[in-house]
Amino acid sequence: MNKQVTITVPATSANLGPGFDCLGLALALYNRVTFTAVSTPTLTIEVTGLDVEKVPTDESNLIYQTANCLFERLGKRPSGLHIQQENNIPVGSGLGSSSTAVLAGLLGANALMDGTFTRSDLLALATAEEGHPDNVAPALLGGLVLGVMDGTAVHIEPLPIAPQQVVIVTPDFQLLTKDARAALPTQISRQDAIFNASRLPLLIRALQTADYDKLAMAMQDRLHQPYRLPLIPGMADAFAAATAAGAAGVALSGAGPSLIAFAPDHHTEIAAAVTAVFQQNHLTSRSWILPIETSGTQINKLASQGTI
């Protein structure tokens, strides 16, 4: 039987307001990728689920590209490869879809070829590919994770978080991460640095203890959201509508265009209020009420199961 490995990677929401490029949270929504080694020298890629039309099925496919990089590092590769990609996370939505592809490619190639790269080696490679650790680290480990860059080295700090559900609303609007990053200033004031530096530990503490009273202040940000909200039709009004419907804290998910809201209850009402604002701005949207994901990326080999 051909050797087969399945990698399951959760969605992530990066930044969470003040944690720009360093804080991320894993969510219980998953992309699943199955790699099958085949004996003929062929590459076939089959994509199912959401946004199929946005995913290339040739050598430019991101999962294949990252797997190929790892085959090169390992100095071995299968004769041919079949990739089945099941997408449940919308592409380019600020929910870490590209991180799932990078991690699936690296972990899948390593497992398929019985490679010896460790979890931390692969996290370093994934962070280098993404440019920052705030999606790949929680996607790999699960839960709430702080990623600290020290030069090119990445230090990962998993942080406790109270079990809770979050609301995600994704408007059907294209905002490329590179454009959302290009909108940011290269310099910030000392006041804005202090504003974010004081809120990040408050946010971590509030999430740890599910202290919803502190979240509204703790999720404020002056590094990226003030520059990005105007790029997305209705987003500033969507923040206000989520709050009016009962959200304790609201943030842009990653570089957008998704919104993430935290609340002790009224999740359905919050999703409906945000959806209505996007509708008023002529945008359809998808919404989810998701538990926090705590297991991280899972690897299943055909004959045996386990994590690296």
The closest of 96, 42, 30, 33 to 258, measured between CA atoms, is 96
Does 177 sit near ligand HSE (CB under 6 A)? Answer: yes
Query: Cβ 76 to ligand HSE, closest distance in Å?
Result: 31
Does 134 sit near ligand HSE (CB under 6 A)? Answer: yes
d(CA 6, CA 282): 39
Cβ distance 63 to 104 under 8 Å?
yes
d(CA 65, CA 14): 23
Q: Which stretch binds ligand HSE (CB under 6 A): 14-22, 58-66, 211-219, 236-244?
A: 14-22
Name, in order, each residue with C-beta under 8 angstroms of 250's C-beta and a sequence gap of 6 or more.
219, 239, 242, 243, 259, 260, 261, 262
Q: Which amino acid is at 253?
A: S
**Binding residue for ligand HSE (CB under 6 A) from 32, 82, 132, 199?**
132
Q: Which amino acid is at 148?
A: V
Query: Cβ 20 to ligand HSE, closest distance in Å?
Result: 6
Does 231 sit near ligand HSE (CB under 6 A)? Answer: no
**Binding residue for ligand HSE (CB under 6 A) from 14, 215, 260, 283?**
14
Q: What is the DSSP letter of 59?
A: T
Does 255 sit near ligand HSE (CB under 6 A)? Answer: yes
Does 222 sit near ligand HSE (CB under 6 A)? Answer: no
**Binding residue for ligand HSE (CB under 6 A) from 254, 257, 267, 275?**
254
Task: Give the C-alpha distances (Å, rounded to integers) separating 304 from 3, 5, 6, 176, 299.
Answer: 11, 9, 11, 39, 10
d(CA 284, CA 221): 27
Q: Which two tokens stand for residue 98?
A: 């590209």
Does 93 sit near ligand HSE (CB under 6 A)? Answer: no
Does 15 sit near ligand HSE (CB under 6 A)? Answer: yes
Does 21 sit near ligand HSE (CB under 6 A)? Answer: yes
Neighbour-count burial of 23, counting CB atoms closer than 10 A to its CB (0-12 exposed, 13-18 middle, 19+ buried): buried
Size of the site for ligand HSE (CB under 6 A): 13
Does 57 sit near ligand HSE (CB under 6 A)? Answer: no
d(CA 180, CA 224): 9
Q: Which is nearer to ligand HSE, 114 or 179 (CB)?
A: 179
Does 229 sit near ligand HSE (CB under 6 A)? Answer: no
Q: Which is nearer to ligand HSE, 14 or 167 (CB)?
A: 14
Q: Which stretch binds ligand HSE (CB under 6 A): 3-11, 113-121, 132-140, 241-249?
A: 132-140
Cβ distance 169 to 159 under 8 Å?
no
Phi-psi group of 202: left, alpha or beta (phi > 0 → left; psi -120 to 50 → alpha; rest → beta): alpha
Does 287 sit near ligand HSE (CB under 6 A)? Answer: no
Q: Which is nearer to ligand HSE, 23 or 70 (CB)?
A: 23
Query: Cβ 196 to ligand HSE, closest distance in Å?
Result: 13
Q: Which is nearer to ligand HSE, 134 or 293 (CB)?
A: 134
Does 25 sit near ligand HSE (CB under 6 A)? Answer: no
Site residues for ligand HSE per CB under 6 A: 14-15, 20-21, 132, 134-135, 177, 180-181, 224, 254-255
